[in-house]
Structure 1
Amino acid sequence: MVNQLIGGEWVAAESGEWVEVENPARREVLALTPDSDESDSTRAVAAAKAARGPWKALAARDRGALLIKIAKDAEELPRIIASETGNDLRTQARGEAASGADIFRFYGQIASEQKVRDLPARREPRQLHRA
């Protein structure tokens, strides 16, 4: 059984129910995962909001290092993706995992270059000019 990560803790669904994750090619059960519902989503959102303060308090370089670590830890993802979806490891699953890792790597590198505490938000949407 594999629990869900909420608030830094691995927890089961509040319902106590589980769903089988099956390899579609072999028709074998790979794992059981929590059958989450709205109450679990509400818990996860509350935990994410609570984590915003400590995350924001980290120096940009430290946030970037954590994002880059996620990208490095993604090396096992292609096998998991291939098992869960039946996608080919070489032609599909590796590309999908690499795309996700690239996003974490990109933002990790950008974070270490951040020179201000907060990046300014755009105040007005860009208007299209028509001739």
Structure 2
Amino acid sequence: MPMIERLPDWEQRLHDYVASLEGSSFRWGELDCALFAAGAVLAQTGVDLAAAYRGRYTTARGSVRALRRLGAGTLEATIAAALPAVAPAFARRGDVVMSDGIAGVCLGPRAIFVGEVDGTPGWVTVERASWVNAWSVG
């Protein structure tokens, strides 16, 4: 697992990253849950955990193939191979979290996710009680 540390101005960088995506739409391989969470890590640390995945898929099936070929097999296992796990109750702002198989970013008591919910793509906030995994970003 690589040693990743947050930059001194990580909070502003995280804010700017999320704000820069306001109004953006879900797109496999461009702005899906995994690339959104990886983009938040990149903004906070300068380390792009998803560099090998960018531009490699455009569908849900393609994302699964990319995780099998380039990652640890699943999204959860791939994140776990890159970041140390923490209990969801101890996740802090900027950490990566997971709910219903979708990766998102902790913003305090809620996390923001980009994904498809009930077949509709978009931005979703999920309360901490629904998170099943969390990983520390530095």
Fold match (TM-score > 0.5): no
TM-score by length of 1: 0.30
Which of the pair has the greater relative contact order for Cα pairs under 8 Å at 6+ separation? 2
TM-score by length of 2: 0.29
